[in-house]
């Protein structure tokens, strides 16, 4: 098949998104230089709203890990963390990020003139809702910077989210406040928390609407677009900027739908992606699928920043509920039902599972789920072996051969 037979279309709002991200990194950098504002490092689905509500600027190491992957810097940096005793088998965000710190480099300095390093934290906050790796990752930095490490220990494999879960997590969230008051030197302000949470909810609702546009045929969006445009929802939720941005993006996508304009020229097959992106191959994968007239258009991954339960009138309980209801926290039964619903909603012809070697927490194909779901739905699946950041674990040839064979199989079914 000719490479790039069908081309992906560029999203016009991309420039606005890049500006928002640049402003975000410069604000953090300025604060770190001037010492004007306190800086917290937070896990990507940690309680960022509490931090913003108390005036912290927030850095997300996973976002930095993804940048290391997307710029293909990660693979060379991972061994530096391995040398400190962090196994090549554990999260390659963690090992790439710590490796980059040890080497004193960051992709930010290439992307943004004047930024030399990451903003040093005054506190590190984790939530183990996604995995234990984030706690170990942050613990390393807590020792390095000699700053407090605080966090929330969440249940794993949760089926129904019960009141007991909510009470326990909400209490842990509230228990963070006295320490954060001490670190920030200011009293927590309930009204400010409510304001931030309302903004975060608005961002989440708009982000969901953006992702849901992919249910249109043809889809105006690809998964690969989603992984880039989710940036503001991850790092700036709780502020006005992502709210404004997603309104613009949504209008553009709705216009595409109205004009029956897909994200690619000739969408013949529609796929769902489960698991982590392969950051070092994002563009290569986008091209590969586009060349096969196949749109990978929706994912569990991008949906991870939808927090439909946030309620400004009940901040702690609703945050506890939202951060526990996330896909990654749930039991296989709940995950299977979720994927089934998503496959029906997005009208997909097949599903790709990415088995990311260093992220068992977000690789859902290891205990028979693809087979069970295929049996139930008759929607075929393909498992790709690879990794989010360690490109030594990715075989491009094998991926290409497998994807091409899978699409041929889909064509035969049609």
Give dist(CA 153, CA 334) in Å, integer.
20
When asked if residue 133 is in the footprint of ligand SF4 (CB under 6 A), the reply is yes
- Of 20-28, 69-77, 219-227, 359-367, which part binds ligand SF4 (CB under 6 A)? 359-367
Report residue 349 as tokens.
């012809």
Question: What radius of gyration, in Å, describes the C-alpha atoms of the chain?
Answer: 21
CB nearer ligand SF4, residue 61 or residue 315:
61
CB nearer ligand SF4, residue 93 or residue 327:
93
CB nearer ligand SF4, residue 122 or residue 133:
133
Q: Which of residues 200-239 bind ligand SF4 (CB under 6 A)?
A: none
- Out of 6, 131, 264, 352, point to the residue binding ligand SF4 (CB under 6 A): 131
Reported residue count of the chain is: 414
- Of 2-10, 184-192, 355-363, 404-412, which part binds ligand SF4 (CB under 6 A)? 355-363
**Of 309, 283, 305, residue with least CA distance to 232:** 305
CB nearer ligand SF4, residue 133 or residue 225:
133
Give dist(CA 280, CA 67) in Å, integer.
9
- Out of 25, 56, 60, 93, point to the residue binding ligand SF4 (CB under 6 A): 93
Residue 174 three-state SS: helix
Give dist(CA 137, CA 124) in Å, integer.
10
CB nearer ligand SF4, residue 122 or residue 390:
390
Give dist(CA 343, CA 345) in Å, integer.
6
**Of 149, 112, 144, 97, residue with least CA distance to 127:** 149
**Of 66, 57, 1, residue with least CA distance to 32:** 57
- Out of 71, 109, 361, 395, point to the residue binding ligand SF4 (CB under 6 A): 361
CB nearer ligand SF4, residue 194 or residue 357:
357
CB nearer ligand SF4, residue 93 or residue 140:
93
For residues 172 and 153, is the Cβ–Cβ distance under 8 A? yes
- Minimum Å gap between C-beta 131 and ligand SF4 is 3
Give dist(CA 240, CA 237) in Å, integer.
8
CB nearer ligand SF4, residue 218 or residue 226:
226
Show the binding pattern over residues 322-351: x = contacts ligand SF4 (CB under 6 A), - = does not.
Answer: ------------------------------
Place of tokens 């504002």: 37
- Out of 70, 91, 193, 206, point to the residue binding ligand SF4 (CB under 6 A): 91
**Of 33, 16, 24, 102, residue with least CA distance to 63:** 24
Give dist(CA 392, CA 370) in Å, integer.
25
When asked if residue 126 is in the footprint of ligand SF4 (CB under 6 A), the reply is no
- Of 259-267, 288-296, 354-362, 405-413, which part binds ligand SF4 (CB under 6 A)? 354-362
Total chain residues near ligand SF4 (CB under 6 A): 12
Neighbours of 392 (CB within 10 A): 12
- Of 116-124, 125-133, 245-253, 293-301, which part binds ligand SF4 (CB under 6 A)? 125-133
- Minimum Å gap between C-beta 358 and ligand SF4 is 7
- Out of 63, 318, 324, 362, point to the residue binding ligand SF4 (CB under 6 A): 362
When asked if residue 88 is in the footprint of ligand SF4 (CB under 6 A), the reply is no
Report residue 106 as tokens.
């960051």
- Minimum Å gap between C-beta 408 and ligand SF4 is 31
Give dist(CA 345, CA 322) in Å, integer.
21
Residue 269 three-state SS: strand
Q: Which of residues 259-278 bind ligand SF4 (CB under 6 A)?
A: 276
Q: Which of residues 381-400 bind ligand SF4 (CB under 6 A)?
A: 388
The DSSP annotation for 189-235 comes to: -HHHHHHHHHHHHHHHHHHHHHHHGGGSSS-S--HHHHHHHTHHHHH
- Minimum Å gap between C-beta 229 and ligand SF4 is 19
Give dist(CA 193, CA 47) in Å, integer.
11
When asked if residue 134 is in the footprint of ligand SF4 (CB under 6 A), the reply is yes
For residues 159 and 331, is the Cβ–Cβ distance under 8 A? yes
When asked if residue 359 is in the footprint of ligand SF4 (CB under 6 A), the reply is yes
- Out of 13, 24, 32, 62, point to the residue binding ligand SF4 (CB under 6 A): 62
- Out of 29, 130, 219, 300, point to the residue binding ligand SF4 (CB under 6 A): 130
Interaction site with ligand SF4 (CB under 6 A): 62, 91, 93, 130-131, 133-134, 276, 359, 361-362, 388
């Amino acid at each position: 098949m000719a490479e790039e037979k069908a081309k992906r279309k560029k999203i016009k709002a991309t420039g606005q998104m890049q500006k928002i991200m640049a402003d975000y990194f410069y604000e953090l950098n300025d604060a770190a230089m001037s010492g004007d504002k306190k800086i917290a490092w937070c896990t990507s689905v940690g309680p960022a709203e509490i931090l913003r509500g108390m005036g912290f600027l927030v850095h997300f190491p996973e976002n930095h890990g993804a940048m290391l992957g997307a710029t293909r810097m990660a693979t060379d940096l991972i061994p530096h963390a391995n040398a400190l005793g962090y196994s090549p088998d554990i999260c390659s965000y963690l090992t790439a990020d710590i490796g980059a710190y040890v080497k004193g480099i960051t992709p930010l300095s290439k992307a943004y003139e004047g930024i030399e390093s990451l903003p040093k934290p005054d506190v590190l906050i984790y939530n183990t809702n996604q995995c234990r790796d984030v706690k170990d990752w942050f613990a390393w930095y807590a020792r390095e910077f000699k700053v407090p490490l605080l966090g929330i220990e969440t249940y794993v494999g949760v089926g129904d989210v019960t009141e007991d879960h909510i009470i326990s997590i909400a209490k842990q969230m509230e228990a963070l406040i006295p320490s954060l008051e001490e670190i920030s030197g200011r009293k927590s302000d309930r009204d400010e928390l409510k304001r931030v949470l309302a903004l975060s909810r608005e961002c989440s609702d708009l982000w969901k609407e953006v992702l849901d546009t992919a249910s249109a045929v043809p889809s105006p969006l690809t998964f690969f677009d989603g992984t880039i445009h989710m940036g503001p929802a991850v790092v700036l939720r709780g502020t006005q900027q992502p709210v404004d941005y997603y309104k613009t993006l949504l209008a553009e996508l709705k216009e595409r739908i109205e004009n029956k304009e897909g994200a690619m020229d000739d969408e013949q097959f529609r796929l769902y992606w489960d698991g982590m992106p392969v950051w070092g191959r994002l563009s290569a994968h986008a091209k590969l699928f586009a060349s096969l007239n196949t749109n990978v258009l929706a994912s569990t991954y991008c949906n991870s920043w939808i927090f439909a339960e946030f309620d400004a009138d009940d901040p702690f309980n609703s945050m506890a509920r939202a951060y526990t209801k996330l896909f990654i926290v749930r039991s296989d039964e709940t995950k299977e039902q979720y994927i089934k619903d998503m496959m029906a909603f997005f009208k997909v012809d097949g599903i790709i599972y990415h088995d990311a070697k260093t992220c068992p927490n977000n690789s859902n194909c290891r205990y028979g789920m693809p087979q069970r779901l295929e049996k139930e739905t008759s929607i075929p699946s393909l498992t790709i072996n690879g990794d989010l950041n360690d490109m030594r674990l990715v075989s491009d040839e094998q991926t290409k051969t497998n994807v091409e064979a899978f699409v041929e199989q889909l064509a035969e079914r049609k």
